[in-house]
Amino acid sequence: MPTDDVRARREKVVLDHFHDEVEQDWDAVLSTFPHPRYEIVPTQTVHDGDAAVRDYYHETRVAFPDQRHEMIALRHGDDAVVVEFYLLGTHRGPLGSVPPTGGSFKVRMTAFFVFDANEELVCERVYFDQLSFLRQLLGGINLRSPKGLLTLARVLRGFARLSREPNDVIPDTPARRR
């Protein structure tokens, strides 16, 4: 188990990272990594490197401009800080091929902030229940109107497209770098 000093340093990195994400201060968030990397496990998506991570930030904030979080718990492991939190927002813009639904969401998530032997952040690995997320986004659609039914069809088609995009990067995630 890491020393109290190591735990305090890691915790500061993680809390600064979270704060700067909400503030949308991307330069500050990226400065918490020597090489930025996000692994979004439910979607099997990896954003690796400065440009890819900036694209990820842009895409998610276009879709959810009010995205924010509520911290639930923070725990320390041998090589990671594990954070449980609620992610909240409203689907106001397109998410890839998925048109906006206007639906708000509050989804419980877990993020593993993985540190290497030099105590540098090497990855944020996120887990969440996609069905809870999708159900809440669909809740913003008025299913009693023709326009709402058309939006539902477009949203489902958009999610179907996303689900067909194979990504086998996650299973090949590099082990903790030592």
pLDDT of residue 173: 52
Q: Dihedral sign, CA of 42, 86, 69, 62?
A: positive
| Token pair belonging to 63 | 């879709």
Name residues whose C-beta falls within 8 Å of residue 60's C-beta, 6 or more positions apart in sequence.
67, 95
pLDDT of residue 49: 97
| Token pair belonging to 121 | 């952040």
**CATH number at 4-167:** 3.10.450.50
Domain spans in the chain, listed from the N-terminal domain onward: 4-167
CB 108 within 8 A of CB 128: yes
pLDDT of residue 96: 87
Mean per-residue pLDDT pooled into runs of 10, the chain (178 residues): 93 96 95 96 93 96 96 96 98 93 96 96 96 91 93 89 62 48
Say what the pTM is: 0.87
Report the C-alpha gap between 69 and 166 in whole angstroms: 29
Report the C-alpha gap between 26 and 12 in whole angstroms: 17
Q: Dihedral sign, CA of 29, 32, 34, 37?
A: negative
